Structure 1
């Protein structure tokens, strides 16, 4: 459920982006709705609202949510300040790079890889499997970041669609592959049953 909540700002961004630009009068100010810049403003506002509600309800945000929110504020703010969508195009690659570095760094910092810290409460696996799984997440984040970067600057017309639907598809395929991989190894960390 938490992952779906994280998609609300992105879905609102896509909806507003796809609208034909229209100008409305709001309290004596002309407000344009539709296109990249109003979609970016909606992304920032909805991210603040969603994560603000989560903060008020849980009194905390996960580290990944902080990274996403700060990247949204930074790259979205720069997009609006300089009226250039180039900054927003760098958001997904930058966030993916931060996650890849965090997973990579966990091989050298601390005694447990990051994926085990995240999922270890639910699964018991040998350390070698955790290390492979962590490496798979590193590759996943690198591929996602590179794919977003490539599409954003090569196929600009399809960038927003790819950002939402392409990235979601890549994520679902990765999670399916991870599930298949884990299903083969779930018994590896369990104590053997006596017959």
Structure 2
């Protein structure tokens, strides 16, 4: 099953160097029964995109917790052999999963990353993350605005060069 793990450039660098995405438990996003039920008309590609979008949104929360990393959302796409079943506490449309294993780097299929030009939009959402979680309409609008920024696709063999170009803390905060 393909899962999408929210990350940051700093966390991506640590995972690449460690040879695994972890530690467990990991919050990941995938095509869950709750997501399928919500998007009844959606095909597999649309469902995968919806799961990745939820992971990208969660990446904003990780950026809010790490003020020193570049304001660019990162999503790690990986193949895992088994995903624990939902415990019944998920809401309709929720793609969230909890993985109780680390993901070996060899299972990473690709990495998705905001373009450098998106840092202004993403930075605003990061600043307002806590307010958005409290339901502030302006903050939620800023967070929703991130969805207008496309994530770029990188093959795993491109990641070391990407990280080297970004620097030790994932680029400069803007």
Q: Could you state the TM-score of these two structures normalised by the residue count of structure 2?
A: 0.31
Structure index of larger Rg: 1
Structure with greater helix percent: 1
Structure with greater strand percent: 2
Higher relative contact order (CA 8 A, sep 6+): 2
